[in-house]
């Protein structure tokens, strides 16, 4: 099936991805500022849409407003995909994005109403990462690059590159899960600390395989450079956030440096996960398998506009 490139939809998808990064930042601020229960009710805030924006209420209510706006943005994106995109898989990605945002909002509400119990904050955080991955995927598969005719490369190594990059994304997601468990006081710090070297080794292995099997493929080069760069920054940020947390352990409230370092570490972790998802999509697009490339057109052609 041939697909038509719609530049407006692609740009809009990129905008939604950027908005989601803003929402992830707002959510990380709520947790870092210990503001998760600053507003005791949901979906309204103290029974109104305009509560006094003081203290933790400002963080929590702003987070809700940004999340609500994302819900509308994703619904519009899904509508555009169902209306204009010929590929059933891409249409369903839009539907999954809407379902994910709805689930995310419901988990957020339950997190408040159930007073942070039952692992709800961790599920809320991890669902946010999954929604982010879906939106990153939509932005990728609606791009002109994805639809253009691309050279295909043979993977002669074992295990297959598709397996390696998928495992890489899964390991990074587990590390995010461990970090969320620690931040919300459901896990000790040990799983997250022990997971950091594992993530580093997994990313390095993935990058080395990409380098050895596809040394001349420009997209693969960029992907491995990005993975190396972001994981290096992320580890430095993690050490900084840990040091700040240790130094402020006896402080009566979160200090600005601790909050900032933790928020940046959390958001860059999401960006690393998003980059790993892009790497998975790159490999599926450029390295054919026995079945049709995931969400690609059969020949990767863009019809004349």
Q: What is the pLDDT of residues 65-92, one digit of tens each?
A: 999 999 999 999 999 999 999 899 999 9
Q: Are residues 95 and 221 in the same domain?
A: no
Give the end-to-end CA distance of the chain in Å, rounded to a whole number.
Answer: 16
pLDDT of 245 over the 80 cut = yes
pLDDT of 2 over the 80 cut = no
Q: Are residues 207 and 239 in the same domain?
A: yes
* Overall number of domains in the chain: 2
pLDDT of 305 over the 90 cut = no
How far, CA to CA in Å, does 38 sit from each of 61, 256, 261, 266? 9, 18, 22, 21
Alpha-carbon span 62 to 26, nearest angstrom: 7
pLDDT of 296 over the 70 cut = no
Q: What is the pLDDT of residue 150?
A: 87
In this structure, what CATH number is given to the domain that contains residue 223? 1.20.120
Rounded to the nearest integer, the mean pLDDT of the chain is 89
Which residue reads 């006094």 in tokens?
52
Closest CA to 6 of 116, 86, 112, 121: 86
Q: What is the pLDDT of residue 282?
A: 95
Contact status, residue 135 vs residue 17, Cβ threshold 8 Å = yes
Q: Are residues 146 and 42 in the same domain?
A: yes
Backbone angles phi, psi at 41, to 5 degrees: -115, 170
Is residue 68 exposed (0-12), middle (13-18) or buried (19+ Cβ within 10 Å)?
middle
Q: Are residues 177 and 148 in the same domain?
A: no
pLDDT of 303 over the 60 cut = no
Read off the tokens for 196: 């950091």
Full residue range of the structural domain in which residue 56 is found: 1-152+295-305
**What average pLDDT does this structure show over 232-249?**
91
Q: Are residues 127 and 230 in the same domain?
A: no
**What percent of the chain clears pLDDT 70, i.e. is strictly above it?**
94
Alpha-carbon span 18 to 144, nearest angstrom: 19
Q: What is the pLDDT of residue 297?
A: 42
Read off the tokens for 25: 């930042």
pLDDT of 294 over the 60 cut = no
How confident is the model over 190-234, as pLDDT tens digits?
Answer: 999 999 999 999 999 999 999 999 998 999 999 999 999 999 999
Alpha-carbon span 297 to 143, nearest angstrom: 12
How far, CA to CA in Å, does 59 sit from each of 39, 88, 123, 292? 10, 39, 20, 45
Helices (H), the chain: 7-32, 56-84, 88-113, 120-141, 144-147, 161-183, 190-213, 218-247, 256-286
Binning pLDDT at 50, 70 and 90, where does residue 1 land? low
pLDDT of 153 over the 50 cut = yes
Contact status, residue 65 vs residue 58, Cβ threshold 8 Å = no
Closest CA to 77 of 153, 137, 161, 31: 137
Q: Are residues 4 and 136 in the same domain?
A: yes
pLDDT of 257 over the 50 cut = yes
Handedness of CA 285, 291, 297, 298 (dihedral sign): positive
Q: Are residues 184 and 239 in the same domain?
A: yes
pLDDT of 300 over the 70 cut = no
> What is the pTM for the complete model shown?
0.90
Q: Are residues 242 and 105 in the same domain?
A: no
Binning pLDDT at 50, 70 and 90, where does residue 290 land? low
Q: Are residues 161 and 143 in the same domain?
A: no
Contact status, residue 199 vs residue 175, Cβ threshold 8 Å = yes
Q: Are residues 48 and 93 in the same domain?
A: yes
How far, CA to CA in Å, does 99 sit from each of 28, 78, 85, 115, 130? 22, 10, 19, 24, 11
The more confident residue out of 40 and 81 is 81
**What average pLDDT does this structure show over 127-147?**
95
Binning pLDDT at 50, 70 and 90, where does residue 280 land? very high
Q: Are residues 42 and 82 in the same domain?
A: yes
The torsion region of residue 254 among left (phi > 0), alpha (psi -120 to 50) and beta comes to beta
Name residues whose C-beta falls within 8 Å of residue 160's C-beta, 6 or more positions apart in sequence. 289
Q: What is the pLDDT of residue 156?
A: 84
């Amino acid at each position: 099936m041939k697909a038509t490139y719609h530049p407006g939809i692609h740009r809009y998808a990129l905008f939604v991805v950027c908005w989601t990064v803003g929402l992830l930042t707002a959510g990380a601020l709520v947790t870092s500022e210990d503001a998760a229960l600053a507003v005791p009710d949901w979906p309204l805030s103290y029974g109104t849409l305009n509560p006094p924006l003081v203290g933790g209420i400002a963080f929590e209510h702003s987070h809700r407003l940004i999340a609500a706006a994302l819900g509308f943005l994703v619904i519009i994106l899904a509508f555009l995909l169902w209306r204009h995109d010929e590929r059933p898989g891409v249409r369903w990605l839009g539907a999954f994005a809407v379902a994910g945002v709805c689930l995310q909002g419901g988990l957020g509400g339950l997190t408040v109403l159930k007073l942070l119990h039952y692992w709800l904050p961790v599920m809320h955080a991890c669902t946010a990462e999954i929604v982010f991955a879906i939106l990153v995927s939509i932005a990728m598969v609606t791009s002109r690059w994805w639809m253009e005719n691309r050279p295909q490369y043979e993977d002669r190594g074992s295990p297959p590159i598709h397996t390696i990059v998928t495992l890489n994304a899964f390991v990074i997601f587990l590390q995010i899960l461990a970090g969320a468990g620690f931040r919300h006081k459901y896990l000790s710090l040990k799983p997250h600390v022990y997971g950091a070297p594992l993530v580093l080794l997994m990313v390095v292995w993935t990058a080395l395989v990409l380098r050895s099997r596809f040394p001349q493929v420009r997209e693969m080069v960029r992907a491995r450079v990005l993975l190396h760069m972001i994981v290096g920054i992320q580890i430095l940020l993690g050490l900084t956030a840990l040091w700040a947390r240790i130094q402020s352990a006896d402080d009566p409230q979160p200090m600005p440096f601790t909050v900032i370092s933790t928020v940046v570490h959390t958001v860059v972790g999401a960006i690393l996960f998003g980059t790993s998802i892009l790497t998975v999509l790159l490999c599926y697009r450029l390295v054919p398998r026995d079945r049709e490339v995931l969400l690609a057109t059969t020949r990767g052609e863009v019809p004349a506009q």
